[in-house]
Amino acid sequence: EVQLVESGGGLVQPGGSLRLACAASGFTFNTFWMTWVRQAPGKGLEWVANIKWDGSEKYSVDSVKGRFTVSRDNAKNSLYLQMNSLRVEDTAVYFCARGEGMGAWGQGTLVTVSS
C-alpha cells in the first residue's frame, strides 16, 4: 500500500524557516517524480514544487522561488521542502504527492506563519 506521511509543520514567525519532510513507503520511491502542493485555509489547491526521481530536475511556483527548496533522499525514501523567509501568505496545509500527476497524496502538515 502506498503511504506518504508528512511532518515538520508548525507555527513560525514571519521571516522564519521550516523544513518539511515526507516519508514514502509501499512503492519504488526512486522511480517517481515527487510533488508538493499546498492549500491555504478555506482556499483551493496550489502546486508548489516538484522534483525528478534522481533530483536532476526541479520546478517551483514563482511565489516561492528563491525561498523554498525541494530535495529528496532516495536512500531514505524521503522528500523534503526547505522553506525560508516565510511569509504570512505561506500559511497552508502542505501535501506531498507521488508523481507528476499526483496520483497519491499524504494527509498533509499544517504550516502557520504568524507573529
Among 18, 20, 22, 50, binds another protein (CB under 8 A): 50
What residues between 94 and 113 interact with another protein by CB under 8 A?
A: 95, 100-108
User: Smallest gap, in angstroms, from Cβ of residue 75 to another protein?
Assistant: 26
Residue pair 88/114 in contact (Cβ under 8 Å)? The answer is yes
- CA–chain centroid gap for 2, Å, is 17
Instruction: Report long-range pairs for 58-63 (Cβ below 8 Å, ≥24 apart).
Output: 63/89
Is 62 a binding residue for another protein by CB under 8 A? The answer is yes
Residue pair 39/92 in contact (Cβ under 8 Å)? The answer is yes
User: Smallest gap, in angstroms, from Cβ of residue 36 to another protein?
Assistant: 11
What residue has cell string 533522499?
Answer: 73
Is 89 a binding residue for another protein by CB under 8 A? The answer is no
Residue numbers of the site for another protein (CB under 8 A)? 35, 37, 44-47, 50, 59-62, 95, 100-108
